[in-house]
């Protein structure tokens, strides 16, 4: 039972991270900032 709860918690955490990343990518200003930071490395 304990292993199953840990497995479910890991899946929920992964889903939360994926949803947070998706929410950031729906904001165009975030994408512009990310692109600017990426190009400033070169």
pLDDT at 12 (0 to 100): 97
pTM of the model: 0.61
pLDDT at 4 (0 to 100): 92
pLDDT at 26 (0 to 100): 87
Are 32 and 26 contacting, i.e. CB atoms less than 8 angstroms apart?
A: no
pLDDT at 30 (0 to 100): 86
Q: Where are the alpha helices (DSSP H) in the chain?
A: 2-25, 28-40
Residues 3-33 as b/e (b if ≥16 CB within 10 A, e otherwise) read: eeeeeeeeeeeeeeeeeeeeeeeeeeeeeee
pLDDT at 38 (0 to 100): 93
Q: What residue numbers bound the domain in which 17 lies?
A: 2-40
Are 8 and 2 contacting, i.e. CB atoms less than 8 angstroms apart?
A: no
Number of structural domains the chain divides into: 1
pLDDT in tens, 1-42: 799 999 999 999 999 999 998 998 888 898 899 899 999 988
């Amino acid at each position: 039972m304990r292993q199953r709860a840990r497995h479910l918690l890991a899946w929920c955490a992964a889903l939360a991270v994926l949803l947070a990343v998706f929410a950031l990518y729906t904001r165009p200003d975030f994408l512009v900032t990310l692109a600017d930071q990426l190009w400033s490395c070169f």
